Amino acid sequence: MVEDRITDGRRIAELISSEIDGREDGELARFSVTNADRDVEPTTDGARAYDVTRDGDRLARAFVHEDRARLEFEDGQDAAAEAAAEVDLRVRPKATTPPRTLVFVESGAEVKRSTDVLQTVSRRLEDGDD
């Protein structure tokens, strides 16, 4: 049996959202998907799909590209970069004021790893490590 690899950015973002809203274990119990744009269409530069909040405060924003999704961390940038690298997700800084860390989710198989990054960032923020 051959499974298709999910590489549609909008679908990947939907899977991340489902993981965040559908799981209530560990750190994910503290997360919500808010301000969702249900009509978002992927763009080359990425279109904002929704915000990811932790205890009611925005931690990251999700963007959809044609072939991937990305999480743009506004808080815990160093923790996000380290955690993403540890689980083999592509990551890069965004030179803006204030700076951001971009974590790319390029297939459906990477969705659980992206939620692992969210949980690691949450724990590090709780510990005051970032």
Q: 36: how many CB neighbours lie within 10 A of its CB?
A: 15
Tens of pLDDT, residue by residue over 84-114, are: 999 999 999 988 888 899 999 999 999 999 9
Q: Which pLDDT belongs to residue 71?
A: 97
Residue 2's pLDDT is what? 42
pTM over 0.85: yes
**77-86 vs 111-127: helix axis angle to the nearest 10?**
140
Residue 74: how many CB atoms within 10 A of its CB? Answer: 18
Q: How many residues does the chain have?
A: 130
Strand partners, 90: 104
- Write out residues in the chain with pLDDT < 50, as ranges: 1-2
Closest CA to 52 of 77, 69, 74, 22: 74
